[in-house]
Amino acid sequence: MRTLEQTTQEVLDLAAKHFQLPSGSLAPDDDFFKKLGIDSLQTLEMLSRLENHFGIELPDYEVQGVSDFKTLAERIQSRL
C-alpha cells in the first residue's frame, strides 16, 4: 500500500511526464490550471492517465473543483 506521500510524488511525476516538463518541476501545492496552463479538457486527459497508472476509476464528481496536486493525490489515495 502506497503512502499519501508516495501517491503525491507519483502524481507529480506522471503529470510532469504527461505535459513534458522536467522531473521535479511540480510541487504538491501547485495549482495545475495555472502551473501547466491547461484547460478542463486537458485535465480530464491527465486524469485518465493517472487512473491507468493507479488502476482505479476516479469518477468525474470526485475531482470537481480540485485544482492542486495535493488534493488530487488525496482523492486518488482514498480509492487505492
Partner 1 sequence: MLDLSKYQSVGEALRDALDQYANEVCLIEADREREKERLTYRDFKQRAHPLAKALQDSVFSAGARAGIIMTNQSKWLISAYAIFFAGGVLVPLDYKLTPDEQWQLLKHSEASLLITEYPIWRQLSGSPGRATATNVQTVLVTEAPANADLSGAQRWEEFRGTGEPVFVARKRSDTACVVYSSGTGGRPKGCMMTHENYLEQCVALTSLYPFWPGVRYLSILPTNHAIDFMVGFFGPFTCGAAVVHLRTLRPEYVRQAFPKYKITYVSLVPLVLKNLQKGLQARFDALPLGKRKIFNALVGVNKALTKSRPRLGISRLLLKQVHEAFGGALRAIIVGGAFSEPQTLQFFYDLGIPVANGYGLTEAGTAITVNDLKPFRADTVGKPLPGMEVRILEPSADGVGEVAVRGKTVMAGYLNEPELTAETVVDGWLLTGDLGRFDGAGHLQLAGRKKNMIVTEEGKNIYPEDIETVFESLSVKEFCVLAANYIWPKRSMTGEKLVLALHLEEGQQYSEELHQDINARNNRLINYKRIHGIVLLDEDFPRTASLKIKRNVLAERLAKLDSGTAILPL
Q: In the complex, which residues of this chain contact partner 1 (CB under 8 A)?
A: 31, 33-34, 39-41, 44-45, 47-48, 57, 59-62, 64-65, 67
Residue closer to partner 1, measured from CB, 20 or 57: 57
Residue 68 pairs in a beta bridge with 31
Name residue 32's amino acid: F
CB of 48 to partner 1, least distance (A): 5
Which three-class secondary structure state does DSSP give residue 56? coil
Neighbours of 45 (CB within 10 A): 11
Q: In terms of CB distance, is 9 or 67 closer to partner 1?
A: 67
Q: How far is CA 32 from the centre of its chain?
A: 8
CB of 28 to partner 1, least distance (A): 15
